[in-house]
Structure 1
Amino acid sequence: MRGALLMTGAMAAFTFNDACMKALGVHIPLFQALVLRGLGTTILLLILARRMGQLRFDLSREDWTLIAIRTAAEAGAAWLFLTALNNMSIASVSAILQSLPLTVTLASAMFLGEVVGWRRLLAIMIGFGGVLLIVKPGTDAFTIHSLYALGSVICVTIRDVVVRKISKSVPSLVVSLAAAIGVTLFSAAGAAFVQWQPMGLLPSLQLIGATLFVVAGYILSVSSMRVGEIGFVAPFRYTSLLVALILGVVVFGSFPDLLTLIGAAIVVATGVFTLLREWQLRQAGRRSAPPPRPVARL
């Protein structure tokens, strides 16, 4: 239960970060917001990594290459996601993002050789049908920004698949710190071509909130996986959709239409099934594994 509460808190923190960034987009350009948030996030993660003794640079060339690929995917995901978020309702973008467990499972089967049975493949196909209900291709509700949201899902999928190949000995804070630096540098390149705007009290508070929320989300999500059983904790990721619905109504005065809600329900249901099915298979594999051979003592 502690793990579930920590995961719920992490998803709430990430969604509050999204809300702060969406509100901030009214006052300043996106690249300016990304640079300023990136600087704050980088500083906080650097302090945290140093205090926890995880600030290491003696990594292998392969690990640095994988971290670079993950960082590039992170930068692309941040830009695509926030571009979509600034032009769509927070609930709709969040609903599209809930397809991540489905896309990661499919990509792991295609590129990492992980075995995915027919039940999970069927769930993935049904889940993608739910995404189509949210995006609504071929209708007046479909916009280019829906493609930006889907593009962010692809980038995050690449990020999550690549991270599985990074050595277990690499501290997670180093990976996150590299991503924060990469996003900041990418945003700085884009910010060089936009007109920066002065920031009053409200945008400054929104920026501080976004920075604190994104760091809190990271800490809580890592803690949840260390405290709780992953099969029980992982489905609580979907609480972010509920938080997004509430924030959309209370803060932005928007509520998704019926098709979006139906699509979101399908995506969440198939995603939870996929996560639970993967956990069941892992548990079965552990039970069927032969016991370790005894080691002779001299």
Structure 2
Amino acid sequence: MPDNRNLRGALLMALAMAGFSLNDAMVRLVAAHMNTGQIMLLRGAMTTLIIGLFAWRMKPAFSPSMLRDRALMLRTLCEALAAIAYVHALGLMPLSNAASIMQALPLVVTMGAALFLGEKVGWRRWLAISAGFCGVLVIIRPGGNGFTVASLIVIGSVLTAAARDLATKRIMPGAPTLLVSGAASVAVTVSGALLVEPMGGWRTPDVTDLAALGFGALMLFTAYQTLIMAMRTGDISFIAPFRYTSLLWSILLGVVFLGERLDMWIIIGSGIVVAAGVYMFYRENRLRRLTAAASQPLS
């Protein structure tokens, strides 16, 4: 039976996914009134301000030399690219569709770790990764009505987000979390500023749009911090599968809040992707336990 730490960690993970989904819903809400660059600029500036206030209060120890860490620079670049792709896609397709495709992220990260970081991935997990990619194909339906340019943009966001997560593993251990998130937030803000004019120019936002983006920025910051707390609270193998609750949150928000409609292929494809991801986490946990048991000295 899972202990209380694991239950708290699972709850924190589910809350983190709710925060990410609420942020995405706010972006989807204002996407009809603003272009991608303006959304990124305004939300990024608000998020940077929140991070700055927390950094001023907490005063994390860091040196300017940390900003020259190549892994941090790569992560920051990938974060900006992933944000550009996903925010732009949210303006072109329903939230539930975009969120369904994004569920492939843990599978792509595992594949990237095997290909680029030398981590060992057995044939069962390769089969799970392949099944997950088949699920994505069911969602986007190449040659069918579900296949759009927006679907390809979300796939691009998945790939760059996976590169971001892989780069995170290489960041120097002493780099504070607020420095990592702050660098990413500044990069997203600057990228948004550069994209405002090429994507249609500035439109003066109304109070509703600013409130939605402000709420989204607060949810984004809260989600990142809650995610960190979740990963530090219990066993990662128990907590990680609760990442997939983001799909439930996104579907709920899309249907109830944004008036979206689900089709059968989204449900089937999402089920395949989630099942593949959960099995992969289960397999990783089992292998970790077997390795730990084998390393125990005989009494």
TM-score, normalised to structure 1, is 0.93
Q: Which amino acid aligns with 2:34?
A: I
Match of 2:226 among 220, 225, 250: 220
Conserved 8 A contact 2:40-2:191: no
Aligned to 1:206: 212
Conserved 8 A contact 1:100-1:153: yes
Count of residues in correspondence between the two structures:
290
Aligned to 1:157: 162
Q: Is 1:37 aligned to 2:50, yes or no? A: no
Q: Is 1:249 aligned to 2:255, yes or no? A: yes
TM-score, normalised to structure 2, is 0.93
Conserved 8 A contact 1:245-1:255: no
Aligned to 2:97: 92
Aligned to 1:171: 176
Q: CA deviation at 1:59?
A: 4.0
Conserved 8 A contact 2:31-2:90: no
Match of 2:281 among 275, 278, 281: 275
Q: CA deviation at 1:187?
A: 1.2
CA deviations on 1:20-67 (whole Å, 9 max, x unpaired) are 011011222221111111111112112223433325125458x62111
Q: Secondary structure of the equivalent of 1:253?
A: coil
Aligned to 1:191: 196
- What is the rounded CA distance, in whole Å, between the counterparts of 2:40 and 2:98 in structure 1? 18
The runs of at least 4 consecutive aligned structure 1 residues that moved more than 6 Å come to none
Match of 1:51 among 29, 46, 57: 57
CA RMSD of aligned residues (A): 1.5
Q: Which moved more, 1:110-119 or 1:45-54?
A: 45-54
Alignment of 1:95-106 (within 5 A): 95-106=100-111
Aligned to 1:64: 69
- What is the rounded CA distance, in whole Å, between the counterparts of 1:92 and 1:172 in structure 2? 31
Q: Is 1:18 aligned to 2:18, yes or no? A: no
CA deviations on 1:59-112 (whole Å, 9 max, x unpaired) are 458x62111111111111001111111111111110100001110001100000
Aligned to 1:294: none
CA deviations on 1:223-256 (whole Å, 9 max, x unpaired) are 1111121111111111110111111111221122
* Residue segments in structure 2 that go unaligned for 5+ positions in a row: 1-6
Conserved 8 A contact 1:126-1:266: yes
Conserved 8 A contact 1:134-1:260: yes
Match of 1:5 among 8, 11, 18: 11
Aligned to 1:180: 185
